[in-house]
Chain A
Amino acid sequence: MYQYDQFDHAMVAARNAEFKDQVERRLKGELSEDQFKPLRLMNGLYLQLHAYMLRIAVPYGVLSSRQMRTFAHIARTYDRDFGHFTTRQNIQFNWIKLADTPQILEDLAAVEMHAIQTSGNCIRNTTTDQFAGAARDEIDDPRPWAELIRQWSTFHPEFTFLPRKFKIAITGATRDRAAIRVHDIGLQLTDKGFDVYVGGGMGRTPHLGHLIKSGLPGEKLLSYLEAALRVYNRYGRRDNIYKARIKILVSALGPQEYARQVEEEWATLDQAQIDAPHAEIARIKSFFPQPAYADKAFDAAALDRAKAADAGFARWVRNNTLAHRRDDHVSVTISLKPTGLPPGDASSAQMDVMADAADRFGYGELRVSHEQNIILPHVAKADLYDLYRLLDQNGLSSANVGKITDMIACPGLDYCSLANARSIPLAQDISQRFADAELTDKIGDLQIKISGCINACGHHHVGHIGILGVDKQGEEFYQILLGGRADEQAALGVITGKGLSAEAVPAALERLIKLYLDLRTDETERFIDTVGRLGRDAFAGALHEPA
């Protein structure tokens, strides 16, 4: 993975020293809350319902075992022994003391991490495919490009006060696992360069991104992004926070006109000054080599015997592993969605176990996925059973990846000060309702995504089943959306039926799923395909109790 050079180290150290001083001045009363708030937010420190929350950037979701152990240390020492992995491939700690934050940031800097640009109207952490560099369907590795964007965007003076936050996602595979069409800019790497999508987003007015450029050469990526951001920075609306995202500008101008303006701007830029020289791109690429693969003898018959003897293991191999570029390896997803527990949470002990697992079986590498799971991208097939047993002993062997209980849920009203309704308890109820592994396997691939308000941090617009928490005069209600998807056939779900109470949701989903099982042509037709074939209306009735 990328390693800081002296400039990175110096930059983060200087920033931490500055923030330490700001915290001290705030505690002494030399800075007012109004003065301090934007400063703390620039360092990822929010004030939420119960306490300060610290959001730490995991650049494009890539973590070393050492960094994961630092998260465990932070959870244990400064928080309440757990952390929450988010859909932005970051981690949030919910119970941080203001006075502790300078020390936490120092602990993070020691492992080349920080919380800079995890808030505010700047370019946020670039997200990507959690299987980057490992997946068999990959065309090109997106990580070096995400790193290049990180270096270009961090502290970019022109883009520190954009009209609104800005999120870029990249995928380099044929399957889009990074949800690029619902990001401000989505980049698809192809063998001819980048396809650039602009103007996607969720929140209160969801949009899918529009293709505005095909075959952009990698060496021209930064100058083109600079032009795209410039047009947005100049014309994006600053008068109305709800209309400030680039999606609103692109839909007001029309994608073609926006693209034309970007081309025009691009032509005026001194591109050679902005674009990274070839040697620099090569240098960055050199930080992302393939691991030194161990040639472990793989005995397929032994794996089959282990699967036959241990049905849990067989299910886990089936659901939680993905084809690797090498035949003798797989990528493993560690599900953070055990039955009845909050999606995306991990205890400090579990973080340590995942770090150990990465060291013993995964070349020390981990990833955070936007589905709020942890990935070991490279695992020798010969090690699978040992890895499974280690995870199983530590409550980390849920075999439900991609299934109905592998839900995304935002923090919701249990933590978030903007929320209208709770998300986590609802996810817990649903997970309990569908706890039977045979049943979840029978249902097959199905993504439920839950947000506690219209901001859509839980991606409800692109869930096969989306759930949106709303507030009706002090009572929590949930709108159900059907038909959304975040993959290469991205689509926005549509609100279907009337809002339901929290108690009514699990039963409504049960009726919905039963209807799907009755209507599907066979088990290869996934829920989303059946909804596509028959239309949402065929399912609306099932959401409500028969009169």
Chain B
Amino acid sequence: MKLLTANRLTDGLVLWYAGGPDLSGWNEDAALATRLEDEAAAALLEDWKARETEVVAPYLVPLLDENTLVKREYVREHVRANGPTAGQTAFDTARQHQRGEVF
């Protein structure tokens, strides 16, 4: 199982693929990301790699199950999904999306 993620070209923010044919299908909230089967994920990745005016640097994040990151990726993807863990300045993605932390 995999997630498709990238940064939006215009503002660089982390996005998660949540279905649909165009950019409006991507979401800043990782909780809403579509859980993809491996083959579908690989095909979508190829598709989105070519769509450079919409997203930058798309890649796949492997999951062990619905809500569990592979350990090797854990801290990095947790930080990308939830915002910096640090400080006065932490962008509290979870609060913005009115939900708890993802993963």
B12 touches A97 (CB 8 A): yes
Asked whether, in the complex, the Cβ of B14 is within 8 Å of the Cβ of A342, the reply is no
Identify which of A198-206, A421-429, A515-523 touches chain B: A421-429
- Chain A 35-68, CB-CB to B under 8 Å as 1, else 0, gives 0000000000001111110000000000000000
The interface of chain B, by Cβ under 8 A from chain A, is 7, 9-14, 52-53, 56-57, 70-76, 79-80, 83-89, 91
A-B pairs, top 10 by smallest CB distance, nearest first, are A474-B71, A414-B84, A424-B86, A51-B12, A52-B12, A342-B87, A29-B53, A97-B11, A474-B72, A82-B89
A52-B12, A414-B86 given as contacts; is B7 within 8 A of A474 (CB)?
Answer: no
Question: In the complex where A32-B52, A474-B72 touch, is A414 in contact with B13 (Cβ < 8 A)?
Answer: no
Q: 23 A–B contact pairs at CB < 8 A?
A: A27-B9, A27-B53, A48-B12, A49-B80, A50-B91, A51-B11, A96-B12, A97-B10, A97-B11, A97-B12, A98-B11, A341-B88, A342-B88, A345-B89, A347-B88, A419-B76, A421-B75, A424-B84, A428-B86, A474-B70, A474-B72, A475-B71, A475-B74
| In-complex Cβ contact of B86 among A33, A95, A347, A425 (8 A) | A425
Among residues of A, the one whose C-beta sits closest to the C-beta of B11 is: A97
- A421–B74 alpha-carbon span in the complex (Å): 11
With beta carbons under 8 angstroms apart, the residue of A341, A421, A471 that contacts B87 is A341
Q: What's the Cα separation between A95 and B83 when bound, in Å?
A: 11
The residue on A at minimum CB distance from B73 is A474
Tell me whether B75 and A413 are in contact (CB under 8 A): yes
**Contact A50 B10, beta carbon cutoff 8 Å:** no
Q: Provided the pairs A51-B13, A342-B89 are in contact, do residues A415 and B84 lie with their beta carbons within 8 angstroms?
A: yes
Q: Mark A99-128, 1 if CB is under 8 A from B, else 0.
A: 100000000000000000000000000000
Kindly state the separation between the CA atoms of A410 and B13 in the bound complex, as whole angstroms: 21
A80 within 8 A of B: yes
- Assuming the contacts A33-B56, A98-B11, A473-B71, asked whether A49 and B91 have C-beta atoms less than 8 A apart, the reply is no
Interface secondary structure of A, over-half rule? mixed
Known: A95-B91, A99-B10, A474-B72. A50 touches B83 (CB 8 A): yes
Question: B62 to nearest A CB, angstroms?
Answer: 12
Min Cβ gap A93→B in Å is: 11
State how many angstroms separate the Cβ of B73 from the closest Cβ of chain A.
Answer: 7
> Which residue of A is nearest B91, CB measured?
A80
Q: A52 contacts which chain B residues (CB < 8 A)? A: 11-12
For B72, the closest partner residue in chain A by CB is A474
Residues from chain B with a CB closer than 8 A to the CB of A27 are 9-10, 53
- Chain A residue nearest to B74 in the complex (CB): A474
Which residues in window 1-47 of A have CB below 8 A to B? 26-29, 32-33, 47
Give 16 A-B pairs besides A49-B76, A422-B85 with Cβ atoms closer than 8 angstroms. A29-B53, A47-B7, A47-B12, A50-B14, A50-B84, A51-B11, A82-B89, A97-B10, A342-B87, A342-B89, A345-B87, A345-B89, A425-B85, A473-B71, A473-B72, A474-B74
A356 / chain B contacts, CB cutoff of 8 Å: none
Residues of chain B with a CB closer than 8 A to A422's CB: 75, 79, 85-86
Tell me the nearest residue of chain A to B13, going by C-beta: A51
Across the interface, which residues of B come within 8 angstroms of A510, CB to CB? none
Nearest B residue to A100 by beta-carbon distance?
A: B11
Given contacts A32-B52, A33-B57, A51-B12, contact A82 B79 (CB under 8 A): no
A97 and B84 alpha carbons, distance in the complex (Å): 18
Q: How far is the CB of B100 from chain A (nearest CB, A)?
A: 19
Q: Kindly state the separation between the CA atoms of A374 and B57 in the bound complex, as whole angstroms.
A: 36
The residue that B56 contacts in the complex, of A47, A428, A474, with Cβ under 8 A, is: A47
Nearest-neighbor residue (CB-CB) of A46 within chain B: B12
Q: How far is the CA of A348 from the CA of B58 in the complex (A)?
A: 33
Question: Min CB distance, B96 to chain A, in Å?
Answer: 12
A476 within 8 A of B: yes
What's the least CB distance linking B76 to chain A, in Å?
6
**Beyond A80-B91, A424-B86, is A50–B13 a contact (Cβ under 8 Å)?**
yes
Q: Give A259 to B53 CA distance when docked, in angstroms.
A: 50
Name the residue of chain B whose CB is nearest to the CB of A345.
B89
Residue in chain B with minimal CB distance to A412? B86
Residues 413-446 of A, flagged 1 when their CB comes within 8 A of B and 0 if not, give 1110001011011001000000000000000000
Query: Closest CB-CB distance, A422 to chain B, in whole Å?
Result: 7
A475, B73: Cα distance in complex, Å: 9
Q: CA A459 – CA B51 in complex, angstroms? A: 39
In the bound complex, how far is the Cα of B88 from the Cα of A475, in angstroms?
Answer: 25
Nearest residue, chain B, Cβ from A32: B52
Min Cβ gap A90→B in Å is: 18
